[in-house]
Copies of this chain bind each other. A is one copy, B any other.
Amino acid sequence: MRLAIDAMGGDYAPEQIVKGTLEAALDSSQVTFQLYGDEKQISQILGEQKPENIEIHHTEDVITGDDDPVRAVRRKREASLVVAAHAVKNGEADGLLSCGNTGALVASGILIVGRMTGIDRPALMATLPAIGSTRSSIQYMDAGANSDAKPLNVYQHAVLGDFYAREILGIDHPTLALLNNGTEENKGSKLLRESYAMISEDESLNFIGNMEARDILSGVADVIVADGFTGNAVLKSMEGTASSIMKLLKESVNDGGVMPKVGAYLLKDTLKEMMKSLNSEEIGGALIFGLKAPVMKAHGSSKAKAVNNALKQLEGIVASDMFSRIEEKFSITQ
């Protein structure tokens, strides 16, 4: 198995990307890790310790967070991400990871790697923690690959999420819910009502109906499907709320007397543990799902550990051979 890594994308690129890849390479000696980026910088970070299963593929250019995604992918032909995506397209690599510009990664996926047969638009699928539930995690999609989704896109993403829960997570009959602004069937926007109708017509899905954003983390379903615009806004608001609460707690402790300070000290490890379970970094990357090959996005602020975790997840997906089976499913149903 060969995995392509965009070494130049992300807030801490290339250093933390290279270090995370090094960790992964030492753990998985049977996998080849291809680092795409500035050879000089990458070599310097690796130093003497470069294992045999790491390859450096020199590239001349970089796509930044400010670049317009589609234009950058079309014009910056020598960018690390673009060259890495071509390696996947040409069968020289089996999967791709980047911590850089999400839009550019989605665009590289669509324009270079290519869409899966039967899927109109890929989705960004994130893994969220399930709190106070017997579920270990929730697959949440589309977390933001499509700003203007159509009902057909939402339906196809439901099918993809269901497939992932069965094939990769081994859940027998995964439950699926639609993120809407009310639980009744007739609730929501035209887009959501039409998506509901399409999903409920597919009897192969274990569709439990609409759900509201306040119940996402309670783990009401194995797979939550949302239109990409709402999915993105809701995910960001969960992140923001968690960090605002921690800020508020710090302020309250600082403004309080000795008792709250001692209390906070005694609770320190508990709070740290808690924030960790809400931190997507710790869990892994988000899959850009619906392409011909697995393409994964890890958070822009990923450090070595998060890069390593995302690479392990990508390795599991490639190893499962899920992609050939899902293409089969879609070509049969069409």
Q: Which residues of A contact B (CB under 8 A)?
A: 131-132, 144, 147-148, 179, 181, 187-190, 192, 212-218, 229-230, 232-234, 236-245, 247-249, 251-253, 256, 259-260, 262-271, 273-274, 277-278
Contact A132 B241 (CB under 8 A): no
Contact B131 A248 (CB under 8 A): yes
Contact A240 B214 (CB under 8 A): yes
Closest to A214 in B: B240
A247 with B132: in contact, given A233-B230, A234-B234, A265-B263 (CB under 8 Å)?
yes
Contact A240 B216 (CB under 8 A): yes
CB distance from A105 to the nearest CB of B (A): 15
| CB-defined A-B contacts under 8 Å, sample of 22 | A132-B247, A144-B181, A147-B187, A189-B229, A192-B229, A212-B236, A212-B240, A214-B236, A214-B243, A217-B244, A229-B230, A234-B237, A248-B278, A252-B270, A252-B271, A253-B267, A260-B267, A263-B265, A263-B266, A263-B267, A264-B267, A267-B267
Tell me, in angstroms, the Cα distance from A189 to B142 when the chains sit together.
Answer: 14
Contact A213 B234 (CB under 8 A): yes
Q: Which residues of chain B are near A238, meaning CB under 8 Å?
A: 237-238, 240-241
9 tightest Cβ-Cβ pairs between the two chains A and B: A263-B266, A214-B240, A263-B267, A213-B237, A217-B244, A241-B241, A213-B236, A214-B236, A252-B270
Tell me, in angstroms, the Cα distance from A230 to B213 when the chains sit together.
Answer: 10
Tell me, in angstroms, the Cα distance from A241 to B277 when the chains sit together.
Answer: 13
Q: Which residues of chain B are near A214, meaning CB under 8 Å?
A: 236-237, 239-240, 243
Copies, count? 2
Tell me, in angstroms, the Cα distance from A236 to B179 when the chains sit together.
Answer: 11
CB distance from A216 to the nearest CB of B (A): 6
Closest to A132 in B: B247
CB distance from A236 to the nearest CB of B (A): 4
Closest to A262 in B: B266
A249 with B263: in contact, given A181-B144, A214-B237, A240-B216 (CB under 8 Å)?
no
Closest to A190 in B: B148
Q: Which residues of chain B are near A259, meaning CB under 8 Å?
A: 266
Closest to A259 in B: B266
Q: Contact partner of A263 among B189, B242, B256, B263, CB < 8 A?
A: B263
CB distance from A26 to the nearest CB of B (A): 32
Q: Which residues of chain B are near A229, meaning CB under 8 Å?
A: 181, 188-189, 192, 230
Contact B274 A245 (CB under 8 A): yes
Tell me, in angstroms, the Cα distance from A253 to B274 when the chains sit together.
Answer: 10
Tell me, in angstroms, the Cα distance from A262 to B213 when the chains sit together.
Answer: 33
Contact A248 B277 (CB under 8 A): yes
CB distance from A313 to the nearest CB of B (A): 23
Contact A260 B249 (CB under 8 A): no
CB distance from A128 to the nearest CB of B (A): 10
